[in-house]
């Protein structure tokens, strides 16, 4: 993972699952998914350019529905060009596999560039470069499914191939005559390798020669014709090598531009995928701002058909209280994932999201796996995690999920309060808690998950887990410091079947 987000935080926020929903059509676009650029707080310009380019790509897709499928098909068949680039970098001549890769790249990129000229001012120039080089490599009017150096590339090649074809035919005609004569005289047959297989004993015939590999024709005229055919084959190979060298020399100065084209096509493909992801998650493009404002956001990792969307806004430090199963952790994940998506110029799972870009995104708390240091308690693990990130570059965002829960409630609340206070001096903090001491902190914004509607819980139908979700409001609401922490734990426990008193 990058310095921006560590593995533990990424796991809790389900970053990998979210990123896997990006599905570019090309191999190069898919490779770019693994190295998504992260825009730092100082790179507003780069972030804005990427967001605007993505929006423009999305508009293009909406306005060119008829061309979109052809473009996506071309992207799906677009090779990475790695073999060609490798040969050019090593100053090796391009062979048929590399020239075939290059030909396919030129054919498919020509389709995409022709359709996307409105998106890029240099598309016209790139399209011309691609078309000219494609014609130079493949001068025939119709494309083929395989690569073969065209006779039209060099008159000498066309003549050498014609001579080779004639020599082969001349040799094959004499071979056929000799084989037919021997079969008529002695019986037997010749296999596909030219070996004679008699029906009985090998006949004594000067036209046949026994070798360690079998019995073959030994006619002098046939050997002369075989020699002439081999010479013609060598001549074809020599000229083909010269033509490949010439095509390599023609391609070499174009490689920097072809590399630019490949990078743009990959970015374009990735932006198309970003647009499809925005539609899939019913999300939006975020805003680079000076506060955190989430409107109709949700945690896409929750396995619900229609997860409840919530609003949440804070400036520096926020404390969130609420009932068990009320969605405090889900709120932290939703905000954290939106921040991660924002700084990677991806769509966010919200109708709107304004974000302060940060240097690091750190989760510490209840949903984190505690197996990094065997034998360390949950409280010890939290302390270790906080220590590791205590001196992060400002500003960073801390998502603290019930920090201090693993020790004495009074001491845990005191420690959590101090951690929140200290970290919020230069950073941003969202802390979920059940501690009254934290809920009473001064100098932070206070929110409470609305929680259970008891009457709705008891009157709803279906399995209790489903009834709990239906009766629970996950929306955070602003409250005053010191407002009571919701106490729905007994209600939830009894609803789930634990035989305890009210």
Mean pLDDT per 10-residue segment, the chain (502 residues) = 86 94 96 93 97 97 95 96 95 95 95 92 91 92 80 96 97 96 94 93 92 93 96 97 97 96 97 97 95 93 68 94 79 96 97 96 83 66 89 95 82 89 95 89 88 53 58 70 59 57 59
Q: What phi and psi, each to the nearest 5 degrees, are found at residue 430? A: -120, 120
Pair of tokens at residue 473: 């409001």
- Same domain? 85 vs 223: no
Using CA atoms, how far apart are residues 286 and 90, in angstroms rounded to an integer?
Answer: 44
pLDDT value at residue 374? 57
Using CA atoms, how far apart are residues 288 and 358, in angstroms rounded to an integer?
Answer: 11
pLDDT value at residue 305? 46
- Same domain? 136 vs 207: no
Using CA atoms, how far apart are residues 38 and 4, in angstroms rounded to an integer?
Answer: 8
Pair of tokens at residue 179: 């084989």
State the CATH number of the domain containing residue 261: 1.10.1420
Classify each residue of 11-23 as buried b or exposed e, where b means 16 or more C-beta atoms within 10 Å of its C-beta: bbbbbeebbeebe
Pair of tokens at residue 144: 């083929």
- Same domain? 314 vs 451: yes
Using CA atoms, how far apart are residues 298 and 278, in angstroms rounded to an integer?
Answer: 13
- Same domain? 257 vs 211: no
Q: Note down the domain range covering 197.
A: 152-232
- Same domain? 118 vs 172: no
Q: What phi and psi, each to the nearest 5 degrees, are found at residue 321? A: -110, 170
State the CATH number of the domain containing residue 311: 3.40.50.300
CA distances from 493 to 327, 366, 407, 474 (A): 16, 19, 22, 18
- State how many domains the chain has: 3
H helices present in 252-352, as ranges: 255-280, 328-343
């Amino acid at each position: 993972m990058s310095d921006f987000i560590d593995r533990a935080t990424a796991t809790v926020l389900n970053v990998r699952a979210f990123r896997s929903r990006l599905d570019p059509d090309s191999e190069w676009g898919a490779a770019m998914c693994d190295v998504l650029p992260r825009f730092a707080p100082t790179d507003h310009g780069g972030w804005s350019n990427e967001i605007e380019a993505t929006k423009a790509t999305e508009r293009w897709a909406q306005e060119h529905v008829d061309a979109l499928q052809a473009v996506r098909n071309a992207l799906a068949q677009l090779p990475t060009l790695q073999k060609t680039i490798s040969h050019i970098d090593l100053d090796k001549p391009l062979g048929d596999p590399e020239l075939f890769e290059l030909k396919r790249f030129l054919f498919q990129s020509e389709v995409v560039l022709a359709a996307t000229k409105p998106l890029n001012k240099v598309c016209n120039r790139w399209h011309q470069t691609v078309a000219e080089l494609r014609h130079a490599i493949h001068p025939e009017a119709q494309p083929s499914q395989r690569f073969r150096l065209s006779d039209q590339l060099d008159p000498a090649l066309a003549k050498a191939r014609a001579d080779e074809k004639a020599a082969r035919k001349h040799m094959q005609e004499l071979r056929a005559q000799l084989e037919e004569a021997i079969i008529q005289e002695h019986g037997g047959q010749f296999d596909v390798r030219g070996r004679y297989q008699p029906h009985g004993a090998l006949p004594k015939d000067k036209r046949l020669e026994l070798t360690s590999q079998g019995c073959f024709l030994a006619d002098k005229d046939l050997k002369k014709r075989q020699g002439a055919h081999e010479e013609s084959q060598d001549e074809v190979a020599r000229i083909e090598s010269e033509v490949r060298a010439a095509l390599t020399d023609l391609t070499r100065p174009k490689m920097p531009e072809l590399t630019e084209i490949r990078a743009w096509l990959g970015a374009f493909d990735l932006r198309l995928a970003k647009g499809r992801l925005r539609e899939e998650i019913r999300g939006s493009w975020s805003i680079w701002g000076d506060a955190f404002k989430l409107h109709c956001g949700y945690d896409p990792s929750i396995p619900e058909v229609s997860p409840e969307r919530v609003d949440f806004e804070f400036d520096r430090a926020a404390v969130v209280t609420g009932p068990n199963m009320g969605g405090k952790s889900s709120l932290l994940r939703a905000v954290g994932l939106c921040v991660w998506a924002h700084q990677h110029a991806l769509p966010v799972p919200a109708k709107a999201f304004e974000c302060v870009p940060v240097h690091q995104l750190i989760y510490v708390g209840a949903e984190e796996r505690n197996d990094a240091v065997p034998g360390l308690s949950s409280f010890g693990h939290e302390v270790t995690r906080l220590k590791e990130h205590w001196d992060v570059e400002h500003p960073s965002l801390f998502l603290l999920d019930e920090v201090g829960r693993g020790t004495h409630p009074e001491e845990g609340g005191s420690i959590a309060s101090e951690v929140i206070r200290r970290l919020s001096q230069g950073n941003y903090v969202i802390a979920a808690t059940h501690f009254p001491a934290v809920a009473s902190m001064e100098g932070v914004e206070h929110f409470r998950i609305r929680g259970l509607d008891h009457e709705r819980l008891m009157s709803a139908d279906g399995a209790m887990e489903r009834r709990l979700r239906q009766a629970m409001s996950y929306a955070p609401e602003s409250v005053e410091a010191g407002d009571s922490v919701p106490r729905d734990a007994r209600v939830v426990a009894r609803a789930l079947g634990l035989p305890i008193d009210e």
